[in-house]
A = this chain, B = another copy of it.
Amino acid sequence: MSRDPDPRGDAMGYVRSHASLVERRLDEMIPSGEINAGSGSGSAPRTIVDAMRYSLFSGGKRLRPVMCVAAWEAVGAGGGRAAALDVACAIEMIHTYSLIHDDLPCMDDDDFRRGKPTTHQVFGEAVAVLVGDALLTLGFEVIARAAARARGVGRAVMRRRLLEVVIEVASAAGPSGMVGGQVIDIGMTAGKAADEATIERMNVMKTARLFSASVSAGAMVAGASGAEISALRAFARDFGLGFQIADDISDAAGERDSVKASYVRALGIEGARRVALESIDRAVAHLDYFGERVWALRGIAGLTAAKVAEGARER
C-alpha cells in the first residue's frame, strides 16, 4: 500500500491497474466465438459477439467502472470484489452501448471513435443498433447475476443491494437520465440557441448521471450508508459535469462538433474551462466527508482537472 508521492501519478497507476481488471473480466464474460446464454437456452450468433467485443475492446479508459470499484473500496469493500467488479463491467457495457448508438448516422454520424472506425462503419448500421441493444440488456443481466458472487454477506442482503443497483443504473441510463439528455442534445443540435441552464441540464443527464450511478452502485454493493451514497452521488454529478466540459474543450480544439450546443459554444474556451474547473473543485469538496479513504477518486478528479488546464495551455 505504498503511495507515489505525486498523487496524480498514483491515480494514473490506479486507473491503469483497475482498468485491466475490468478488461480481463469483460473478456471472460464475452469470450470470442458463440457465447452461451448461461441457462443452456441457446447461444449468441457470431456476428453479435464479434461486434460486442469490437465495441468493448476499442481503447476506452474504463473510467466509469474504475470509479465504481474505487467507490466500493472507499466505503469498506464489503460484499465481495467479484460482485463489485461485475457491476463495474455492467456499467462499462451500458456506457459502450450509449457510444455505439450516439455514433449512428441518424445521431452524431461519427465515422471514427478513439481513432478506430465506429461500430456501424465495421458491422453496418443494423448490427450497430442491435449490438447496442444487446450490451444494454446484458448489462442488467450481469448486475442481477452478481448476487451469486457475493462474499462476506448473505445472499439475501446482496440481492437487496443489487436490486437497488438495477434501479440506480436504469434510472441514470433511462429517459430521465442518459437517454433523455441525448434527446435534449439532438433537439439543441437542430439549431436552437441554448442557455446555460439547459446546457447544464443536458450535461447532467447525458453524462453526469451515469458517473453518479457508477460510484453509487459500487458503494451499494459494499453496503454503504445513505449519507455515503449521497456524498458520492454529489461528487460524481459535479465531476461528470466537469468531465463533459473537458471533453467539449478537446472537441473544440480538434474543431469537431462545432455545431453542437456546449459551454464552449456558449462561453468560449476560457469560460468553459472556468466552469469545468469550478465544477471539479465542487466535486472534490463533496469527498471531504470521507477523509483519506477516497484518495483514488480524488486523484481521478485531479487528472481531469489537469486535462482541462493543460488543454487550455496547448492553445
Kindly provide the distance from the CB of A55 to the nearest chain B CB, expressed in whole angstroms: 12
Instruction: List 22 contacting pairs A-B, 8 Å CB cutoff, sorted by A.
Output: A41-B171, A42-B176, A42-B180, A43-B180, A48-B175, A48-B180, A104-B126, A106-B125, A106-B126, A130-B179, A130-B182, A130-B186, A134-B174, A134-B179, A137-B175, A140-B170, A141-B171, A144-B166, A147-B163, A159-B160, A162-B163, A163-B163
Contact B136 A175, beta carbon cutoff 8 Å:
no
In the complex, chain A residues 118-168 whose Cβ is within 8 Å of any chain B Cβ: 124-127, 129-130, 132-134, 136-138, 140-141, 143-145, 147, 155-156, 159-160, 162-164, 166-167
A124 CB contacts on chain B under 8 angstroms: 106
Contact for A176 among B36, B159, B166, B184, CB less than 8 A = B36
Quick one: closest B residue to A42, CB to CB?
B176
Question: Which A residues are closer than 8 A to B by beta carbons?
Answer: 35-39, 41-45, 47-49, 52, 97, 101, 104, 106-107, 124-127, 129-130, 132-134, 136-138, 140-141, 143-145, 147, 155-156, 159-160, 162-164, 166-167, 170-171, 173-177, 179-180, 182-184, 186-187, 201, 204-205, 209
Quick one: closest B residue to A97, CB to CB?
B133
A163 CB contacts on chain B under 8 angstroms: 144, 147, 159, 162-163
| Interface residues of chain A: helix, strand, loop or mixed (majority) | helix
Contact for A171 among B38, B45, B162, B170, CB less than 8 A = B38
Quick one: closest B residue to A138, CB to CB?
B174
Contact A137 B174, beta carbon cutoff 8 Å:
yes
Quick one: closest B residue to A94, CB to CB?
B137
Quick one: closest B residue to A125, CB to CB?
B106
Kindly provide the distance from the CB of A86 to the nearest chain B CB, expressed in whole angstroms: 13
| A60 to B166 Cα, complex, angstroms | 28
A48-B180, A144-B163, A183-B127 known; A170-B138 Cβ under 8 A: yes
- Give how many copies assemble into the complex: 2
Contact B159 A37, beta carbon cutoff 8 Å:
no
A176 CB contacts on chain B under 8 angstroms: 35-37, 41-44
A125 CB contacts on chain B under 8 angstroms: 106
| A48 to B179 Cα, complex, angstroms | 9
Contact B141 A129, beta carbon cutoff 8 Å:
no
Contact A179 B137, beta carbon cutoff 8 Å:
yes
Contact B45 A183, beta carbon cutoff 8 Å:
yes
Contact B126 A175, beta carbon cutoff 8 Å:
no
A44 CB contacts on chain B under 8 angstroms: 174-176, 180
A179 CB contacts on chain B under 8 angstroms: 48, 130, 133-134, 137
A145 CB contacts on chain B under 8 angstroms: 167
| A147 to B183 Cα, complex, angstroms | 30
| A141 to B177 Cα, complex, angstroms | 13
Contact B140 A166, beta carbon cutoff 8 Å:
yes
